[in-house]
A and B are shown apart, each in its own frame.
Chain A
């Protein structure tokens, strides 16, 4: 028996997804153990093994692919529990990471908070000013070395920092991406003196123009490096001790997975990898179902995450954000708002209306209905009152929810406004759903797309509950709750099934006419690096490459990534590239938004190397249904009144049979709410397709190809 195995270490739970050769999946949830995350991994794995009636060793010896997704680095960064980092930087630029281009107090901050000066602040620096040393060195914009660093100066600075207690070194020199020699020399001197030092150089971590975002990526890498390395080491020990001898793969923010040894050098790749698993899993499913364009929506306890699959590819963003820092690492383009099951509803004193979020009750104290001390009503409480979620079947019946308490909290909230408890609950849901729909619309439109060309995937604990409401108003072709019972642990599924992948970048400005030979040479260099890294991660399959050029109009700042269709490039294909750029630019920024007369520049090179994951397709549902799918019925609030609605067990629903709303389809730890005038249909692979009755049938057909 060959298993594939994915672990997703989240804030509350460590989820494990295991799938066998027949495509049968088992999932297990264990508690996350922040004092030693590896413990939670061990528990979750052991639990999953138990579901197959096996011991851990037996499971691991039969495992062909093991992937772990982790928020260890993210948590260390956000809680400022990383290493003490020393920074060597070009003379004159020690303050780059403190100046933060003047936007440190507003980066990633909600618009209404940007004006509130009382609470506005820059993030706490990750490197103290006292741990920064300026080095006499300089490269100019053409890559010419104006001054080389001296060994003596580098060693003196490093020794000084080491004596101060620094355990990790970052090197950030101006223009190092253009000519890395000064950084290369610096690193070699440091490691000569201090062989086990963790050294991060800016030309290696983020070879792109823009020193703030490049130094930030380098500093963050240095900061979380030792913590992530320690975590990976602990997981490795567990796996090796229990008979797993293949490469251990780690989830990256770009939606791929890569060998742990590479992660030990580039731990920054694990930041923001949380939402990447779900989006990556969506890509796998989209390919299987032959759907080109997907909007992914993940409604968790605290946040609502939106991502896109366009033309069968994940949209990557060049700049990432974490905790008010911006840094260069290509990551899956996911936009987030603080709207989820735990979002707290309150009466805005100024406006005397109900507002929801972004504050979340979290897992503790949690919603009122959890009865863990939470007193403020949340979206989850509204869901219980409205009949969307069964109070009896939550977490597979392991936890009973107190509907009366939720109801009372609605009464208390709504009464001063003249609202009944049901109106209050419906209002909370409606407000949240409209915020979700607004974010989806903004993400899709601002990237130059039309929602009508997309199918929307809804997963996460609360996604299937609200999908019809937020997705129904967008005009998408159809909504899909992917993977049935897997929907609530969709990230772990994505982690287990993602391609081995990494991105390789280089920045240099090329102006027309382009030097084709030089461009080909850059790609060749990037590919040889990619090949080496990917081969160390998997011995299966062929390495494939997506080559992209970041291009722009000379006087404009927007860079658009254009795939290089013909490779090696020729004079002729260069013309095609320009045309492709102009078309892509027009699509995103509007026809006629380009400024052709100014000339076109190539500014960035990107190679995405990947080896498609060899994952067995999910098992086809057996048609024969032994048990009735109808579990019963209950009153569910739709459009101003309770309607008696049939409640189905998702696991027993016959395939290809459209179930009309109003209805509820219950899945493990979540439920699909099917309002009147909607239907839900289960397909052969356990996906649930939600559509409006009057809606376009094409979506369903496409989804069932």
Chain B
């Protein structure tokens, strides 16, 4: 473990952060396997076989568990790790578990190799967020694989269990103030001992749940998954020899490392920052809290820190494992889309410095049970933009095609339902429709409406009919929400929204525990607008009589007229006839909306993704009778650019030096003699010196935060803090360069600082 500011990052008070070298009992013999040889054919065969083993591991979990969480949500991930906990393969399921599983193995090696010892046939279970999970529901099971008396490698998995106790069914507690209000975290315990399930430990774990049978079943599923993977690896060892298999494992990691290093070599050194906000930390709270993420690239190394993040508060916190997992959920697909989830090689060159006690790397005993819905997604949304900006700066323009702007569900819109179903049985369930969230805009094309987020590619939304069968609800609609994507040169995909009423029951008891209602959490890139915030609307029926289906549809069709819910709403009761509308937070746009191609605008209008009023307000496009008017649009856009500049002549100096590096879509470094300056790429107006903030040279337009998105409402109903939307415009040409959301008084964010050598 490491020590930060005198704080021991050992997984007790502070999150566990392993050091460079693990402290492991000398009695535990590790298989290093430096012998043997590996021809390229055997390597390719083993590479494929190991991938298949990990797939079989995942399939086994789905099969045995059979729970909707595993079978629809795919809320799990299997992995293969080296003897010292380096990832060989990670699975194609929920990506944020990747930041957590290796931490468990390293902690086990450092803390369990002496007492009780690590032996063949053992498996260790853990759901401790301060060690290696994003919230207590996500339970890891790590299995050492021995060849002879040597620890050869690890297989392991993490699965979201339906209920592990605590004050709220399902574990999502909006009102938890400390971990003592939540499911009990369990540091790694040996639940399988030399091939046998320990009845005492198993009972301790199952006893805490409201759904003991389901927990027992899930436990069997994760044990079966590890057993399958372990046996198949041993078969490979038998056929090819331990040293050869180990060489293949190392080579898989080495290869992914080389690809990653090659990509990094095309990216200049620099610092990239992103800032975001979460609101209402607990019921009754009216605060807004700042989270920061800084990425520093130096040579072949990436370093992340969260300095500047506000202190832990209420129920919006996560620990180091979740914060890191959120970052890796972005790093994997953006920087290693072709590595077949062999992420270990990248991790050799990525480090993290958490700020202990901040709400994104909280200390014990902070409340962390909402980590899987709030903090992890928050970490993803910040990492999305620092990595995207870094990749944009690459000399290898191919990398600019690998990232997207922020996807939807940048805060998971919890809709947790409880009550008596249409058949008179008690139920507890969640709406999982949000897995149809949209993909953000690319640097070269539009995002994907309801495309499914990149950090959970296999996650699947249930059918409406399945939900109506499982719960006493009647949907009024499930549709793609027009105008919900962020505007931009390329727009974010449309998000998914639903409206439903209670049906076949007297009432439904609801809980809301999320953030990102009062301001967008899917921030855009290079002037692109953010996606729509999470939207919760609730219209109680007017009279005692249940309104007709037509009347409820009519209500749902006019969202502006429906009262809003707080992001932390407790025990909301819905009767038949009450209309509940929820839209998942949307996907962000890319680039200046005034540069949007008119054919694309016409297509969006034709398909109903865009309405003429928003085409005008957000894209500067004039539409008449459904048709884009090119000439009128050109005039309107020209006028808007002039308005942005403010009519003043602030053009300033222009540079004519050669481009020496891309700061972003609209700002570059230009060489001037021995010096470099940052200037607008459109008109060459000089904005800042080389390491200054280009925004200092921009004209800053400050608007109410509601201006960030056409579907936004005034946030003051739920927060006291004033939020603003800042647009940074080139004073030379009126082109939009970047936007940001901030609390009034927060400094202008310095998002990109290249350090060319």
Give me the interface of A with B, judged by CB distance under 8 Å.
91-96, 98-106, 111-112, 114-118, 120-122, 128-130, 136, 138, 140-142, 146-147, 174-175, 209-213, 350-355, 417, 419, 423, 426-427, 430-431, 434-435, 438, 441-442, 445-446, 509, 511, 553, 555-558, 588-590, 592-593, 595, 597-598
B249 at the interface (CB under 8 A from A): no
A99: chain B residues at CB < 8 Å are 436, 450, 461, 478-480, 496
- CB-based contact B448/A122 at 8 Å: yes
Residue of A91, A558, A588, A597 touching B213 (CB-CB under 8 A): A597
Most chain-A Cβ atoms within 10 A of its Cβ — which of B43, B59, B465, B607? B465
Q: Are A595 and B41 in contact (CB under 8 A)?
A: no
Per-residue CB proximity of B9-53 to A under 8 Å, as 1/0?
000000000000000000000000000000011011101110110
B41/A431 in contact, CB under 8 A: yes
User: B52, B59, B333, B468: which contacts A117 (Cβ < 8 A)?
Assistant: B333
Of A111, A128, A434, A593, which contacts B217 at CB under 8 A?
A593
How far apart sit A138 and B500, CA to CA, in the bound complex (Å)?
13
> Which residues of chain A have C-beta atoms less than 8 A from B217's C-beta?
593, 595
In the complex the two chains form, is B92's CB within 8 Å of A115's CB?
yes
Instruction: Take A93-B478, A117-B403, A140-B503 as given contacts and tell me if A434 and B49 are in contact as well, using a CB distance cutoff of 8 Å.
Output: yes
A210 to B72, CA, bound (A): 13
B464, A174: Cβ atoms under 8 Å?
A: yes
Which residue of A is nearest B427, CB measured? A555
Q: Are A115 and B64 in contact (CB under 8 A)?
A: no
B657-700 interface (Cβ within 8 A of A): none
CB of B461 within 8 A of CB of A102, answer yes
Min CB distance, B436 to chain A, in Å?
3
> Which residues in B have their C-beta under 8 angstroms from that of A121?
448, 451
Q: Which residues of chain A come closer than 8 Å to B480, judged between CB atoms? A: 95, 98-99
Instruction: Decide if B504 is an interface residue (CB 8 Å cutoff).
Output: yes
Verify A92–B436 contact, CB threshold 8 A. no
Nearest opposing residue in chain A for B332, CB measure: A115
CB contact list, B319-335 vs A, under 8 A: 332-334
Scoring B40, B213, B401, B553 by chain A CB atoms within 10 A of each residue's CB, the highest score goes to: B40
A111: chain B residues at CB < 8 Å are 51, 55, 92, 340-341
B303 at interface by CB-CB < 8 Å: no
Segment of B125-133, B167-175, B452-460, B644-652 in the binding face: B452-460
Task: Decide if B504 touches A93 in the complex (CB within 8 Å).
Answer: no
- Is residue B585 contacting chain A, with contact meaning CB distance below 8 A? no
Q: Contact between B479 and A103 (Cβ–Cβ < 8 Å)?
A: no
Contact with A along B56-67 (1 / 0, CB 8 A): 100100011111
Task: Tell me, in angstroms, the Cα distance from A423 to B44 when the chains sit together.
Answer: 14
Interchain residue pairs with CB less than 8 A apart (14): A92-B478, A95-B479, A99-B436, A102-B450, A111-B341, A114-B457, A115-B332, A117-B454, A118-B337, A120-B448, A120-B451, A122-B449, A147-B550, A557-B66
- Check B255 against A350 for contact (C-beta < 8 Å): yes
A372 to chain B, nearest CB (A): 28
A419 to B669, CA, bound (A): 47
Closest to A212 in B: B463
Closest B residue, CB atoms, query A94: B479
Q: Closest CB-CB distance, B495 to chain A, in whole Å?
A: 10
Q: Does B154 make an interface contact (CB < 8 A)?
A: no
CB of A589 within 8 A of CB of B64, answer yes
> Are A93 and B479 in contact, CB atoms less than 8 angstroms apart?
yes
B213 touching A209 by the CB < 8 A rule?
no
Quick check: A101 and B460 within 8 Å, CB to CB?
yes
Q: Which residue of B lies closest to A129 (CB)?
A: B607
Q: Please, how many angstroms separate the alpha-carbon atoms of A678 and B477 in the complex?
A: 63
A100-B450, A442-B56 known; A114 vs B458 contact (CB < 8 Å): yes
Cβ-defined contact, B464 with A93, below 8 A: yes
- Asked if B221 lies at the interface with its beta carbon under 8 angstroms from chain A, I say yes
Q: Is the CB of B435 within 8 A of A434?
A: no
Of A147, A417, A431, the most chain B CB neighbours within 10 A belong to A431
B570 interface contact, C-beta 8 A: no
Across the interface, B553 reaches (CB within 8 A) one of A92, A130, A597, namely A92
211-242 of chain B: CB within 8 A of chain A? 213-214, 217, 220-221, 224
Chain A residues with Cβ below 8 Å from B334 are 117
Q: Does B293 contact A (CB under 8 A)?
A: no
7 smallest CB-CB distances across A and B, nearest first, come from A102-B436, A92-B477, A556-B66, A427-B41, A116-B337, A557-B71, A102-B452
Q: How far is B475's CA from A597's CA once the two chains are assembled, in angstroms?
A: 30
Report if A427-B40 is in contact (Cβ < 8 Å); known contacts: A118-B401, A210-B463.
Answer: yes
Residues of chain A within 8 A (CB-CB) of B51 are: 111
- Let me know if B451 and A555 touch, CB within 8 A: no
Is B286 at the interface (CB under 8 A from chain A)? no
A100-B450, A102-B437, A210-B463 given as contacts; is B220 within 8 A of A445 (CB)? Answer: no
Give the distance in Å from the alpha carbon of A61 to the alpha carbon of B475 in the complex. 58
Give A354 to B499 CA distance when docked, in angstroms.
52
Given known contacts A350-B258, A558-B71, A595-B217, is B448 in contact with A105 (CB within 8 Å)?
yes
Give the distance in Å from the alpha carbon of A666 to the alpha carbon of B217 in the complex.
53
- B422 pairs with A141, CB closer than 8 A: yes
User: Which A residue sits closest to B232, measured CB to CB?
Assistant: A441
Of residues 418 through 436 on chain B, the ones whose CB sits less than 8 Å from some CB of chain A are 422-423, 435-436
Cβ–Cβ < 8 Å partners of A509 in chain B: 469
- Measured CB to CB, the closest approach of chain B to A306, in angstroms, equals 14
Closest chain-B Cβ to A96's Cβ sits at a distance in Å of 8
Chain B residues with Cβ under 8 A from A589's Cβ?
63-64, 66
Q: Answer yes or no: B284 CB below 8 A from chain A CBs.
A: no
B45 touches A430 (CB 8 A): yes
- Shortest C-beta distance, B701 to chain A (Å), equals 31
Which of B251, B336, B469 has the largest number of chain A CB atoms within 10 A?
Answer: B469
Partner among A94, A106, A209, A511 whose Cβ is within 8 Å of the Cβ of B463 = A209
B318 at the interface (CB under 8 A from A): no
The listed residue (A92, A118, A438) touching B475 by CB distance below 8 A is A92
B549 within 8 A of A: yes
Give the nearest-CB partner of B459 in chain A: A102
List 20 other contacts, CB 8 Å, given A101-B462, A210-B466.
Answer: A92-B553, A101-B436, A101-B460, A102-B452, A105-B439, A106-B452, A114-B457, A115-B457, A117-B333, A118-B401, A120-B448, A122-B449, A141-B469, A351-B47, A431-B41, A434-B45, A438-B49, A509-B469, A557-B72, A593-B63
